[in-house]
């Protein structure tokens, strides 16, 4: 999560040990204005206002008041996490005496409090900060605008292709896990999967800083294949429960997400069929609302949250909630390709990952084929594609590499694969057949750069063919290749890259 912070420090005239009458902002009517940034204060000598805190009817006491005039229409984090006391926090709007509570929180960051609110530029919001059970001392309130991370970034990726004792993290963050109990490698949806026995086996990840930071604005997903319909919870990926931060799981009712000791988002519809691979995903936004996805499509309605996940413990598990807890909730079946992202994947991005098992957001799409003849560089030209095979996304970029420098070339396309050696005297192999279209329109003929590469974003609504442009339809497969100028022993010639097959949906 990226947060914009205008570094503003506003010490308040609240002196330790003063009588309650000297606490300037003891009541709503005398609330102290605060801005984006951090404000230090204390609540020593503060009285308890009426009515009671909505989230802590009895123990919310010794409160002080602030006002915040929203500088933008956005989402803001308001938190007391750096306070030295056990806090209670409430945010309200409207005139004093007839206010509406927007959000209220007791414990989120340890025993301190945090909430997020949606604001309208220019509106004034009241912040009521108290001490649990009358706790008093030095505190701070920090206000930050929440800016969801775009595009999302891979925080953890466990392909579970490992056959040894290590579950490697392929996100680049080095957060490897260890296998415990009997974990057997079996065929998965993408390569090998890990079979968990439902009673002793799990993966333990002792330290995962990139995942620990995710209390909201994240996405978690995995492929699962259960041996039988679960009769209780089976955790797929979890911070160490029953405390800790968050987890997601399967039950006989479908997919579930939990912010530990905060909220069970309940089971979301999704018929889990034993012996069948299913893709499950959860997306938590900056307001702690959760959207569920089952086999690439949204499942049920978004479930509203009321506060973020709490600070994470250092240990995470795949296939269990906590093996040492009285309710370990072991997974019984196979798990494959667990991916955790900082940021919220869109419905089309999740649909794309469902349609392309084993791929990650931003990874290459399509499958290469055909034998390539080395060009004058001594290497064979390669073709790849990035983006999404989802037609509605219309986001595909073709790229080539390992070509001669500053050579002209263009992409060709056909629904059919083929193989023709040295067509028209070329030094390479044509890997297409049938109705072959050429990307030779304005701006489409390319020249390689100093690294021997070029790329082109293509329009899926206008794929060239000999008879004109055709749109890609769901289920269509197109094959792509690149032709380029080259130099051979006998002088100027041409060559081709290998082929690339992409199925769109």
CATH of 364-503, picked from 2.60.40.420, 1.20.120.80, 2.60.40.2060, 3.40.190.10, is 2.60.40.2060
Furthest C-alpha separation in the chain: 97
- Residue in 137, 74, 85, 79 with CA at minimum distance from that of residue 103: 79
Neighbours of 326 (CB within 10 A): 6
Contact 255, 280 (CB under 8 A): yes
The reported pLDDT for the residue numbered 380 is 95
Tokens describing residue 201: 């086996």
Contact 190, 337 (CB under 8 A): yes
Strand residue runs (E) in 206-277? 218-226, 234-239, 246-251, 254-259, 263-268
Contact 262, 307 (CB under 8 A): yes
Give me the residue spans of the domains in the chain: 2-147, 153-355, 364-503
Count of residues in the chain = 505
- The yes-or-no answer to whether 2-147 and 364-503 have a common fold is no
Rounded to whole angstroms, how far apart are CA atoms 26 and 111?
A: 22
Contact 233, 198 (CB under 8 A): no
Listed in sequence order, the residues at least 6 apart from 326 whose beta carbon sits closer than 8 Å to its beta carbon are none
Q: Which residue has the tokens 């060009």?
A: 375
CA atoms within 13 A on the CB side of 252: 5
- Residue in 373, 445, 456 with CA at minimum distance from that of residue 409: 445
Contact 375, 489 (CB under 8 A): no
Looking at the DSSP assignment, which residues form a beta bridge with residue 2?
147
3-state secondary structure of 335: strand
The reported pLDDT for the residue numbered 172 is 87
- The phi and psi torsions of 416 (rounded to 5 degrees) equal -115, 140
The reported pLDDT for the residue numbered 249 is 93
Contact 317, 204 (CB under 8 A): yes
The CATH number of 153-355 is 2.60.120.200
Whole-prediction pTM: 0.69
Give the pLDDT means over successive 10-residue stretches in the chain (505 positions).
36 34 88 96 95 91 97 94 95 96 87 92 97 95 90 92 86 93 91 93 95 94 92 91 90 87 77 91 93 91 85 94 92 96 92 87 85 95 87 88 96 97 96 97 95 95 97 93 95 96 87
Verify cis geometry, omega within 30 degrees of 0, for the bond prior to 51: yes
- Residue in 65, 79, 67, 6 with CA at minimum distance from that of residue 36: 6
- Domain 2-147, architecture per CATH: Sandwich (2.60)
Listed in sequence order, the residues at least 6 apart from 112 whose beta carbon sits closer than 8 Å to its beta carbon are 79, 80, 81, 82, 83, 86, 87
Rounded to whole angstroms, how far apart are CA atoms 435 and 195?
A: 46
The reported pLDDT for the residue numbered 267 is 67
């Amino acid at each position: 999560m990226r947060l914009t912070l205008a570094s503003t420090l506003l010490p308040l005239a609240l002196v330790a040990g003063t009588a309650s009458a000297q606490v300037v902002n003891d009541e709503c009517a005398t609330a102290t204005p605060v801005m984006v940034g951090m404000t230090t204060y204390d609540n020593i000598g503060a009285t308890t206002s009426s009515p009671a805190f909505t989230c802590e009817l009895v123990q919310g006491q010794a409160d002080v008041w602030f006002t915040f005039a929203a500088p933008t229409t956005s989402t803001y984090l308001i938190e007391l996490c750096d306070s030295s006391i056990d806090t209670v926090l409430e945010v309200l709007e409207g005139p004093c005496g007839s206010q509406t509570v927007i959000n209220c929180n007791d414990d989120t960051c340890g025993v301190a409090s945090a909430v997020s609110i949606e604001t309208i530029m220019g509106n004034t919001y009241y912040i009521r900060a108290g001490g649990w059970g009358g706790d008093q001392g030095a505190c701070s309130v920090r206000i930050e605008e929440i800016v969801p991370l775009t595009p999302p970034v891979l925080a953890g990726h466990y392909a579970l292709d490992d056959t040894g004792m290590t579950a490697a993290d392929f996100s680049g963050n080095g957060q490897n896990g260890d296998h415990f109990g009997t974990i057997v490698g079996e065929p998965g949806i993408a390569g090998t999967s890990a079979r968990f026995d439902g009673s002793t086996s799990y993966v333990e990840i002792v330290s995962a800083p990139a995942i620990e930071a995710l209390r909201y604005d994240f996405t978690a997903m995995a492929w699962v294949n259960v041996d039988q319909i679960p009769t209780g919870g089976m955790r797929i990926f979890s911070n160490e429960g029953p405390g800790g931060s968050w987890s997601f799981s399967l039950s006989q009712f479908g997919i579930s997400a939990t912010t530990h000791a905060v909220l069970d988002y309940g089971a979301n519809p999704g018929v889990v069929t034993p012996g069948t691979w299913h893709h499950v995903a959860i997306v938590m936004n900056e307001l702690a609302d959760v959207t569920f996805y089952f086999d690439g499509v949204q499942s049920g309605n978004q479930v509203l949250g009321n506060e973020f996940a709490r600070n994470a413990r250092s240990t995470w598990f795949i296939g269990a909630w906590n093996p040492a807890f009285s309710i370990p909730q072991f997974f019984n079946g196979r798990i494959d390709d667990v991916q955790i992202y900082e940021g919220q994947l869109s419905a089309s991005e999740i649909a794309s990952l469902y349609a392309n098992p084993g791929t990650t957001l931003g990874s290459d799409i399509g499958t290469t084929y055909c034998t390539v003849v080395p060009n004058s560089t001594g290497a064979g030209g390669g073709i790849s594609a990035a983006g999404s095979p989802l037609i509605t996304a219309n986001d595909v970029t073709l790229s080539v590499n390992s070509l001669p420098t500053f050579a002209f070339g263009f992409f060709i396309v056909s629904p059919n694969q083929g193989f023709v050696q040295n067509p028209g005297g070329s030094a390479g192999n044509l890997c297409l057949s049938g109705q072959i279209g050429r990307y030779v329109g304005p701006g489409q003929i390319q020249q390689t750069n100093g690294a021997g590469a070029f790329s082109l974003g293509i329009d899926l609504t206008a794929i060239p063919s000999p008879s004109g442009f055709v749109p890609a339809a769901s289920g269509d497969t197109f094959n792509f290749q690149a032709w380029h100028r080259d130099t051979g022993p006998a002088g100027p010639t041409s060559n081709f890259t290998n082929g690339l097959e992409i199925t769109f949906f």
